[in-house]
C-alpha cells in the first residue's frame, strides 16, 4: 500500500505526461482500489495499481483459531462468494484429515456453489454494465440476486456471511421446502438471463464500448497468472471443476465457455454463458440430490446431532471436546485449488499436528488477476480503464485479505 | 483416519516424471522430496530455483507453464527458518507441482521469478511485505499490503500479536 508516499514524481524535464489519481473512493473501482494513471492527454502511458486498503490480516488471524473457527473468516475474504471460500477451506482440511464426505453433502455443496456463482456473476454484470452506462441491467440483476440471497438466508440464516459448510459436511439439513424454492428460482432464471442479454449482447452502444477493448492475449494471460473467466476469455481452456474435479463435480455435465477474442466483450460472453451453465449444474444437483446424512461419520471432527448430544454421554463428551479444545489434524500440508467465480481460489494449509493451523494461505484470484490490468490498459483511453476493471471482476476483500 | 504415510525418500520418488527431469538436469540442486496426500513437493537449492522453473516450463512433456501461487512459511525458531513455496501448474497436463526453497533467517533472499512469469510480481511483493524475504532482480520490491512506513513483517512467527505497536 503506497498511500503513505506522495504520488510518484515524474522527470521534470518532460512536460508531456501527468499523473492522474483514481480511487480509492471511486464508484467504478469496485471497492477500494486505487490506480495511479500516468496519462498523455487521454491516453494511458502507465498504470500503477495500489492495493492493501482492505488488508485485515486474515491469514495471521487464522493461525490463532481452531480449525473449525477459521470457516467464518473465509466468508469475509470474498464477500460475493462466501460458499466458494468455505468450500475451498473445508476441502483442504478434509484432505489433511482424510475424511469422506457423504454424497448428499457433496451435492448440496455443488448446488450452493453454483448458486453462489450466479450471485457473484449477477453483481458483476450489474455493476460492470452500470460502469459503462447501462443502468437498467443493474436493477434487473439485483432483483434476481435478492432471490438468491433469500435462498442463502433460508438455508444458513445469513444473506452474505453464510458459514454454512463445516469441516466434514454441512452445518444443518436444509429446511423443509428449500428445494422447492430453489427449483422455482432455477426454472425461471434462464428467462432472466435472456432479459439481460436482450439489453446488452446486441446493443450497439455496449458492443462499441466493449469489443476490441482491453485486449489480453492467451500467452500474456498465462504469464500474468490470470485465471478464471479472465483466462478463458483469452482462449485458454482451463476450468478446475472439469479438469481436477472436487466435491463430486465429475458427476455433473456442463460445458466450459471459452472465447478467443480476449477483449471485454469476450469476458462478458464467457460469464454470461457461465450463468447458464451454473443454472444447469444446480438443476442437475437438485434433481439428483441423494438422500442420507449431511455430516461425515467422524465423531472426533464433526459436532454430534443435537438430539444425540442430549441423550448420549459419548456424543456429549465429543461435543465438549471439539468446542473447547478443537480437534487435532495430522501433520502435513495441502494446496486445494477450486474454481471460484473469479478464478482459481487456492487454500494452502499447513498443519503441525495441533488443533490450530500453522499457516493458512489464500491464493486469491482477484489479487492475481489484477496484474493483467496493466497489459490491458496501456496505450488505451482513460474511459476504457473502467471497462477493463469491470471485466476482470475484482473484489477488493479477496484481493487484500 | 490418516491416509497413506508420506514418502520422503528421493530414491523411491525418482521415477516420477517431475523428479526424473529435475534429477537428470541437476541432481545436486535437489535437496529433498515428499509425496504426501497425492501432492508432490520438491525442495530445490535457492541458487538453482530459476533454472529449475525454466527446465520444468520448457520440458516437452511436463510443460509447467503457469505459476499458480507463491507463499512462505516461517518455521521460527528452526533454521533454515523460511520456506518459500511455489505452486506450479501445467495447463496442458492439468497437474500441480510444489517447489520449495529453504532460506535462513539472516540471509533470506532468493531469485525473483518475474523474468519467467511477470505475474510473480504481486505474489513476491506480498511475501516480501509479510515475511521480509527478499527477491533479487524484482522490478519493484515494495510493500503491497501494509503501509510503506510499517515496521516489521506481520506473518513472521516472532511478530508480536498483542500489545502496542
Q: Which neighbouring-strand residues pair with A349?
A: A334, A360
Asked if residues B101 and B70 have their Cβ atoms less than 8 Å apart, the reply is no
* Min Cα separation A82/chain B (Å): 21
Report the candidate in A244, A174, A379 with the shortest Cα–Cα distance to residue B39. Answer: A244
Which residue from B minimizes the CA distance to A367?
A: B122
pLDDT in tens, B51-73: 889 988 988 888 898 999 999 99
Give SS3 for B132. coil
Q: pLDDT truncated to tens, each residue of chain A (401 aa)?
A: 444 444 555 666 667 788 888 878 777 777 788 888 888 888 888 888 888 888 888 999 999 899 989 999 898 888 888 899 999 999 999 999 888 889 999 999 999 999 999 999 999 999 999 888 888 899 999 999 999 999 999 998 888 888 899 898 888 888 988 999 999 999 999 999 998 999 888 889 899 888 888 888 889 999 998 999 999 999 898 999 988 898 888 889 999 999 988 899 999 999 999 999 999 999 999 998 888 888 888 888 888 888 888 898 998 998 999 899 888 888 889 999 999 999 899 999 999 888 999 999 999 999 999 889 888 888 888 888 888 888 888 888 888 88
Whole-number pLDDT of residue B1: 45
Phi, psi of A181 (to 5 degrees): -60, -45
Q: Residue B165's pLDDT is what?
A: 59
Written as one string, the DSSP assignment of A240-272 is HHHHS--TTGGG--------SS-SHHHHHHHHH
Map out the domains of chain B with their CATH numbers: 10-136 (3.30.460.80)
Q: Given B41, B94, B118, which is nearest A244 (Cβ)?
A: B94
**pLDDT averaged over chain B?**
86
State the pLDDT at residue A189. 92
Mean pLDDT for B131-158 is 87
The per-residue pLDDT for A357 is 92
B131 contact A CB<8A: no
Q: How far is A309 from chain B (nearest CA, A)?
A: 23
Please tell me the distance in Å from A246's CA to the nearest CA on chain B. 14
- CA distance linking residue B96 with residue A104, whole number of Å: 28
Separation CA B1–CA B64 (nearest Å): 33
How far is it, in rounded angstroms, from Cα A392 to Cα A268?
Answer: 10
- A132-138: long-range contacts, CB 8 A cutoff, minimum separation 24: A132/A206, A132/A209, A132/A210, A132/A386, A132/A387, A132/A390, A133/A205, A133/A209, A134/A199, A134/A200, A134/A203, A134/A205, A134/A206, A136/A199, A137/A196, A137/A199, A137/A200
Is the domain A58-298+328-366 a CATH 1.10.645.10 member?
yes
pLDDT score for A43: 87
Residue B139's CB is within 10 A of a number of other CB atoms, namely 12
Question: Residues with Cβ < 8 Å from B78, sequence gap 6 or more?
Answer: none
Interchain pair A60, B3: CB under 8 A = no
ipTM: 0.90
In Å, how far is B114's CA from the nearest CA of chain A? 9
Q: Which candidate from B67, B73, B154 shows the least CB-CB separation from A225? A: B67
The pLDDT value recorded for residue A6 is 44
CA distance A59 to B69: 15
Distances (CA, A) of A107 to A170, A254, A304, B30: 11, 15, 21, 42
CA distance to A85, A104, A121, A400, B16, per residue, from A337 (Å): 10, 22, 20, 18, 22
Contacts of B120 in chain A (CB under 8 A): 225
| Domain spans, chain A | 58-298+328-366
Average pLDDT over residues B4-15: 78
Give me the phi and psi of A239, to 5 degrees please.
Answer: -145, 115
**pTM of the predicted protein model:** 0.90
Give the C-alpha separation, B61 to B138, whole Å. Answer: 29
Q: Please give the interface size between A and B, counted as residue pairs whose CB atoms are below 8 Å apart.
A: 113
Interface of A with B in 111-150 (CB under 8 A): none
- Tell me what pLDDT residue A5 has: 44
Amino acid at each position: 500500500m503506497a498511500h503513505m508516499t506522495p504520488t510518484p514524481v515524474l522527470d521534470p524535464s518532460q512536460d508531456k505526461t501527468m499523473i492522474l489519481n483514481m480511487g480509492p473512493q471511486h464508484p467504478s473501482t469496485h471497492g477500494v482500489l486505487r490506480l495511479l494513471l500516468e496519462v498523455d492527454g487521454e491516453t494511458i502511458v502507465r498504470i500503477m495499481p495500489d492495493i492493501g486498503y482492505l488488508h485485515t490480516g486474515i491469514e495471521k488471524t487464522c493461525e490463532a483459531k481452531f480449525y473449525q473457527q477459521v470457516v467464518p473468516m473465509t466468508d469475509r475474504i470474498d464477500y460475493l462468494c462466501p460458499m466458494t471460500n468455505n468450500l475451498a477451506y473445508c476441502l483442504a482440511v478434509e484432505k489433511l484429515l482424510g475424511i469422506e464426505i457423504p454424497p448428499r453433502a457433496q451435492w448440496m455443496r455443488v448446488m450452493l456453489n453454483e448458486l453462489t456463482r450466479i450471485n457473484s456473476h449477477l453483481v458483476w454484470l450489474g455493476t460492470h454494465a452500470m460502469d459503462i452506462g447501462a443502468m437498467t441491467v443493474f436493477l434487473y440483476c439485483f432483483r434476481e440476486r435478492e432471490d438468491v440471497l433469500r435462498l442463502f438466508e433460508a438455508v444458513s440464516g445469513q444473506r452474505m456471511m453464510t458459514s454454512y459448510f463445516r469441516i466434514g459436511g454441512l452445518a444443518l439439513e436444509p429446511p423443509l421446502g428449500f428445494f422447492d424454492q430453489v427449483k422455482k428460482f432455477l426454472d425461471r432464471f434462464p428467462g432472466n438471463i435472456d432479459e439481460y442479454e436482450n439489453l446488452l449482447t446486441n446493443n450497439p452502444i455496449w458492443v462499441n464500448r466493449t469489443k476490441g477493448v482491453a485486449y489480453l492475449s492467451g500467452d500474456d494471460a498465462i504469464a500474468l497468472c490470470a485465471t478464471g473467466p479472465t483466462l478463458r476469455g483469452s482462449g485458454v481452456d482451463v476450468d478446475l471443476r472439469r479438469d481436477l474435479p472436487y466435491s463430486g463435480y465429475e458427476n455433473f455435465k456442463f460445458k466450459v465457455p471459452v472465447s478467443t477474442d480476449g477483449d471485454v466483450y469476450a469476458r462478458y460472453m464467457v460469464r454470461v454463458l457461465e450463468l447458464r451453465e451454473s443454472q444447469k449444474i444446480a438443476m442437475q444437483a437438485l434433481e439428483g440430490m441423494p438422500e442420507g446424512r449431511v455430516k461425515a461419520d467422524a465423531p472426533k471432527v464433526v459436532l454430534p446431532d443435537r438430539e444425540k448430544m442430549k441423550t448420549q454421554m459419548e456424543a456429549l463428551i465429543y461435543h465438549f471436546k471439539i468446542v473447547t479444545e478443537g480437534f487435532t489434524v495430522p501433520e502435513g500440508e495441502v494446496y486445494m485449488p477450486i474454481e471460484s467465480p473469479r478464478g482459481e481460489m487456492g487454500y494452502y494449509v499447513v498443519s503441525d499436528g495441533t488443533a490450530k493451523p500453522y499457516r493458512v494461505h489464500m491464493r486469491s484470484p482477484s489479487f492475481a488477476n489484477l496484474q493483467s490490468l496493466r497489459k490491458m490498459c496501456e496505450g488505451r483511453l482513460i474511459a476504457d480503464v473502467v471497462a477493463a476493471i469491470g471485466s476482470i471482476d475484482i473484489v477488493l476483500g479477496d484481493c487484500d485479505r | 483416519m490418516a491416509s497413506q504415510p508420506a514418502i520422503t525418500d528421493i530414491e523411491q520418488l525418482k521415477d516420477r516424471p517431475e523428479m526424473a527431469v529435475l534429477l537428470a538436469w541437476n541432481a545436486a540442486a535437489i535437496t529433498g522430496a515428499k509425496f504426501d496426500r497425492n501432492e508432490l513437493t520438491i525442495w530445490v537449492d535457492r541458487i538453482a530455483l530459476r533454472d529449475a522453473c525454466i527446465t520444468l516450463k520448457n520440458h516437452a512433456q511436463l510443460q509447467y507453464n503457469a505459476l499458480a501461487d507463491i507463499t512462505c512459511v516461517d518455521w521460527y525458531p528452526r533454521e533454515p527458518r523460511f520456506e518459500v513455496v511455489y505452486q506450479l501448474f501445467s495447463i496442458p497436463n492439468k497437474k500441480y507441482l510444489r517447489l520449495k526453497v529453504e532460506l535462513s533467517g539472516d540471509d533470506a533472499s532468493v531469485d525473483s521469478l518475474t523474468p519467467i512469469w511477470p505475474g510473480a510480481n504481486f505474489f513476491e511483493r506480498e511475501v516480501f511485505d509479510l515475511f521480509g524475504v527478499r527477491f533479487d532482480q524484482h522490478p519493484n520490491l515494495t510493500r503491497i499490503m501494509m503501509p510503506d512506513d510499517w515496521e516489521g513483517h506481520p506473518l513472521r512467527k516472532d511478530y508480536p500479536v498483542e500489545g502496542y505497536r
